[in-house]
Amino acid sequence: MFSSKKRLDKAYKKAKVIDFDDSSKFILFSDCHRGDNSFADDFANNRNIYFHALKHYFIEGFQYCEIGDGDELWENLSFKSIFEAHQNIYMLLKQFHKDNRLQMIWGNHDMVYRNPEYVKKQLFTYFDPKVGVEVELLKDIKYHEGIVLKHSETKQKVFLTHGHQADWWNYSFWKLSRFMVRVLWKPLNVMGIVDPTSPAKNYKGLIKIERRTKKWIAANNNLITIVGHTHRPRFPEPGDIAYFNDGSCVHPRSITGIEIIHGEISLIKWQIATKEDGTLQIVRVSLEGPIKLMDYNT
């Protein structure tokens, strides 16, 4: 069985490299866990927040990097039910893709996307009942285990991956975990009982995963590394181990993400807020940063 180090090494060495500069703009979300809009769909509560935020980033010219667990394919047997529940979101993702501004990474809950044939069958097209034929969705989309953002001038690198490489159970035994979730934990989740194998719900497991990831980062010259998986946002100070976590899109009543704009990095949150007249609005809140990426150089 491979160690966390070997799994992370493999993801880094095989990562897709994307050049960027100080004019580039990226938004990173992970752990959306888009489901079928049933009571077990943790994403459903935040879907309007997520859609509004993503539309903002599309209009503002950002590239969208989804760093794993975008689709909940443990609880759900296929992509079709997820697509039908959240079709407006996939139409927006289609616009990002057509503009060549969509980058996708697979996590443990959508690990089936590491198979290009599965991706082709599920995501390239969809059946449109209005016209009665298959029409284009995310045609030719490719999923990766890792992505490296490389600054064209400074040559500084930022490594993006889901982070389950440091979680041996959810990497090596993901099929068994998927089976347990479908058969046992999805019905119990509807009743409010959480899955104890999830790192987001298991604090001791979460700490171990973070520790293993930080050890790998330190051994790789403090390479800036951005992950998800644990659902716990992390934003280090310059001089600390450069371990970032964008959080998730299934927090209670909010979503968190990481922005990279003009060579600076920030941790942000989108949430519903109340105006003085009592009406509701979706607002962006800055949690940490912005801090220059170069400040993390060792």
Model pTM greater than 0.85? yes
Residue 66 makes CB contacts below 8 A (sequence gap 6+) with 28, 29, 30, 32, 102, 103, 104, 105
Q: What is the pLDDT of residue 1?
A: 41
DSSP string for 280-294: EEEEEEEEEEEEEGG
Long-range contacts of 270-273 (CB under 8 A, 24+ apart): 270/49, 270/50, 270/52, 270/53, 271/49, 272/49
**Contact 66/33 with Cβ under 8 angstroms?**
no
pLDDT above 90 for 28: yes
Residue range 152-188, pLDDT digits in tens: 999 999 999 999 888 766 666 556 666 666 566 556 5
Only one residue has tokens 């077990």, namely: 40
* Domain residue extents for the chain: 4-296
**Could you tell me if 200 and 265 are in contact, meaning their C-beta atoms sit under 8 angstroms apart?**
no
Architecture field, domain 4-296: 4-Layer Sandwich (3.60)
What pLDDT was estimated at residue 242?
Answer: 96
